[in-house]
Each structure stands twice: as structure tokens, then as C-alpha cells.
């Protein structure tokens, strides 16, 4: 298929078919030019449909995500796989801590310290932290 026109099968060329009898070179070339002119609009419409689909998929995915935020002074547990990936095992605990939040670097990123007031070197994302309840 090329710009909306159908290809002819070889045995149809020798036979008298409706497409062969009503074929007109001028209207055919005019129709092909019109299809080429409308091609950009069809691409734009397809792009808009694709963007709408992506937004719907993102909304569906984000609806299942739980937002975590902590304030200064909160006690949190740190994910063991993120802090010490080599010491992770089947029977090891998944979380370690508790740690105290000492600074909110930006939304979702925190600086921690141990309960004995030793600062932890790296910053930690909220997805790797869990609130500690006493």
C-alpha cells in the first residue's frame, strides 16, 4: 500500500476489473498529492494519541506509588541491600537501624545519623528508607 492506493495483482491487469475500468491518471495523481499533503496531519494526530496514552499509563503507574516523606528528628530504618549489597543473604534482615534524620537535603533526599550521633556519609533517598516505630 502506498499513500492509500492498493497494489494490483498481476492477473488483474489482463482482466477487466472495476478498478482498471474507472482508473483515471489525473484523479489518481490528485488523490496521491492530497494524501501526501494530509500525511503531516495524520502523523500529528498519531503523535497526540501516543502522548495521551503515555500520560494515562504514567498516571496508572503513579497511582500505586506511596509517597514517603520524613522530617528532621524522625527515626528511620535503612535498606540493607542499598547500604551493604555484599553482606546481603537469604537469612539476613532486610532493614537496619534505626537512624535519625538530621537534614532534608531536598524533597525525598535525607542525611542520617546513628543514635550515638555519628553522621552517615551518604545521603539517602526516601525509597530506601522506612519509618521506624517504637
Identify the domain containing residue 42 by its residue range. 10-62
Q: Taking the model in full, what pTM does it have?
A: 0.53
| In a domain? residue 1 | no
Please give the biggest Cα pair distance in the chain. 94
Nearest to 129 by CA among 69, 72, 87: 69
Are 131 and 75 spatial neighbours (Cβ–Cβ below 8 Å)?
yes
Bridge partner residues of 99 (DSSP): 76, 114
Tell me what percent of the residues of the chain surpass a pLDDT of 90.
41
CA dihedral of 44, 49, 50, 51, whole degrees rounded to 10: 90
Q: Determine the average pLDDT of the residues in 119-134.
A: 90
Tell me the pLDDT tens digit for each residue of 24-43. 777 777 777 877 888 888 89
Separation CA 57–CA 14 (nearest Å): 52
Q: Do 86 and 119 reside in the same domain of the chain?
A: yes
Please report the pLDDT score of residue 33 as a whole number.
80
Please report the pLDDT score of residue 83 as a whole number.
74
What CATH number does the domain containing 108 carry? 2.30.30.140
Q: Do 85 and 111 reside in the same domain of the chain?
A: yes
Q: Do 44 and 86 reside in the same domain of the chain?
A: no
Total domain count, the chain: 2
Please report the pLDDT score of residue 3 as a whole number.
64
Tell me the pLDDT tens digit for each residue of 57-96. 999 988 887 788 899 999 999 988 877 777 777 788 889 8
Q: Do 51 and 19 reside in the same domain of the chain?
A: yes
Q: Is the pLDDT of residue 116 over 60?
A: yes
Amino acid at each position: 500500500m502506498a499513500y492509500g492506493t492498493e497494489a494490483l495483482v498481476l492477473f488483474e491487469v489482463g482482466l477487466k476489473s472495476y478498478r482498471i475500468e474507472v482508473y483515471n491518471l489525473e484523479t489518481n495523481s490528485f488523490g496521491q498529492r492530497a494524501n501526501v499533503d494530509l500525511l503531516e496531519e495524520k502523523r500529528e494526530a498519531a503523535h497526540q494519541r501516543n502522548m495521551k496514552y503515555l500520560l494515562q499509563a504514567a498516571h496508572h503507574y503513579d497511582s500505586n506509588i506511596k509517597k514517603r516523606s520524613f522530617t528532621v528528628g524522625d527515626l528511620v530504618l535503612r535498606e540493607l541491600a542499598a547500604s551493604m549489597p555484599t553482606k546481603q543473604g537469604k537469612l539476613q534482615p532486610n532493614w537496619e537501624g534505626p537512624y535519625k534524620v538530621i537534614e532534608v537535603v531536598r524533597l525525598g533526599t535525607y542525611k542520617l545519623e546513628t543514635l550515638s550521633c555519628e553522621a552517615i556519609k551518604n545521603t539517602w533517598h526516601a525509597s530506601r528508607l522506612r519509618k521506624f516505630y517504637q
